[in-house]
Every structure is written in C-alpha cells, then in structure tokens.
A = this chain, B = another copy of it.
C-alpha cells in the first residue's frame, strides 16, 4: 500500500494531463523567455477566464518569488505592504519582501483574514499622525485567497477592502497560491472576473494546483508596472524555457481543468472533514477549502503518524497539537476512506 500522505498539496508531480502535454510537445523547437506560442495561448485563455481582455499575464516559478517580484515592482520605494500577521509574506518567506527593501506592515487577523475595518483604522491613524512622513507609507494590501488557514474572503469582504484601498491610494494584491481550492469551494462567491475587477494584481497558483511549478501573475492594467519583463529578469525570475510554464497553464485553462483540480481536492477534503467530525475530532476553523486544521492529543498524534502523513502546525497546549491535513488534485476518495479505520 502506498503512503497516505496529506502533508501538503505540493507532494506529487503534475496533473496527468500536463504530463501528457509536456510529452506531446517535448521535441518541438520554440523561442525562449515566454515568447512562444504556448505561452501566448495560455495568456489568452487566462485573459478569457478572467474576462479581462487587456490583462498582462506573466509566468513565474514559485510563490515566494512571485510575491517578492510583484510587491517590489508595484510599490514605490517609500511604501510598505499591509499583511495579516499570519500572512505568508509576514512569516514564511525568510524575509524575501524585506530583502527587496520594503516593510511588511503586519496587522491583526481573524481566522487568517484581514478585515476592511482593521485596515481603514490603521490608515486613519497613520495619516493623522503628523510624523507620518517619517514612517513607512502603506502602499498595498496583501491578501491570500484561500488564506493560510484555509478560510475565504467573500465578495463583500473583498469589495470593502477594495474601497479602503481606493480611499488611501493603495494597491490590492491577492496571492492565489491555492486559488483553485478557493474557486471550487462550496459557498465561494468570488470568481476570476471578480478578482480581475477588484485587484490591481493577483496570481493564479500552479505549483500547489497541479503544475510542476509555475504561477500566473495577472495585471488587469498592464501599465501598472512598466518594464515588468526586465524586472522579472533582474530578480532572477525569468524562465529561459518559458514555454514549460506556458504549456502547463494552457493545459490548466483548457476544458476547465483548473476547476477540476480544485473540485477533486475539495471532494477529498469534504469526505475527510466528515470522517473527522464523525470521530469527534476538533477542527480549528470552519473552512471550506483543501486545508483542514485539527487539534490532536499528542499521543494520538504520534500513533496516527505511523500510518498517515500530515503536517505539524503549532502547539495547541502542553498535551495537544494543531496539525494540518491538505488534500490536492492528486487525492483519491478511496484513500481517504481508508482513514476511517485509522483515525
């Protein structure tokens, strides 16, 4: 029997359809740096999916890289980026944002989410302070959808945050590392066209959603970041064989594969949630996406770890721990069913 593994959503290779596409095109010769026809086709499909015909679309390699390139190039040098204290850029990117010279202004979160009121209140206080020209000016709001805790912003919440951004001349940037698992979630009311309308920039995650690697950055208004291509190169983020990203995203946005990837993971997550609840495990959040945070007794945790892989999240108290189960495009319902007997 293969291992039951729910440690993360980047543990397998690539969706079989992507493997097929890479195989089919392998020996063809194309120009480099994303100027090939596959990348162009992927861009067109993404523009169409976002209902945003003028958007610029760039393919980068990974999430931290994308966050650093986008935030650094979209901010003015005197600006910082507002993020939740639990945000990926606040905690888990080894200071990649500060490395580019910008402060991450960390604000309090609730269930992993920033609230419009929290941001508004910070900005009000900031601009009332007569010393604010000696301080880091908030120039952008960074959100993750789903958040690091697997929760989702509703359309109303995003719209309220957009209004605060408008009121204080801030850009809105959304990190969609796991966006497939938001788009397909029950109760989600935020679509790709909504994101293209609400955000100044966002990215559609590939690495955690079925690709080998790759994130598609969408700029609804390309004039927002002039010479973005050159700055991607300057940050060491330009792929020589750009088509490898292009082929992957072309496949993801053909026959709605990106949604299918999401749905597969969420069906597995839903079944797992049902089993956990049946067995009276305590979940930390009521969230509808592919990450499930469970409080385990430490002895139980060690016992379980022998038959199933999951992620250690954080200590809960002296005798309990929060762990994470993450499903993905590669999860199988019959495997989750096996957990019934193990959990």
Contacts and interface: CB of A to CB of B under 8 A. Distances in A.
B63 A72 contact: no
A338 interface: no
Given A91-B135, A231-B78, A2 B19 contact: no
A23 B26 contact: no
Stoichiometry, as copies per complex, reads 4
A191 interface: no
A30 B2 CA distance: 12
Interface residues of A, number: 86
Nearest to A22: B13
Interface stretch (A114-122, A147-155, A207-215): A207-215
**Which of the listed residues A16, A22, A238, A314 has the most CB atoms from chain B within 10 Å of its own CB?**
A238
A306 interface: no
Interface stretch (A39-47, A99-107, A267-275, A280-288): A99-107
A239 B78 contact: no
A28 interface: yes
Interface of A: 2-3, 5, 7-8, 10-14, 16, 19, 22-23, 25-33, 61-69, 72-73, 76-78, 80, 91-96, 98-104, 106, 128-131, 133-137, 207-208, 212-213, 226-227, 229-231, 233-241, 243-244, 309, 312, 314-315, 330
Given A91-B135, A94-B233, 17 more contacts: A2-B28, A5-B29, A13-B26, A13-B28, A19-B23, A19-B26, A23-B23, A66-B236, A80-B98, A92-B134, A94-B134, A98-B98, A128-B315, A129-B314, A212-B244, A236-B236, A236-B237
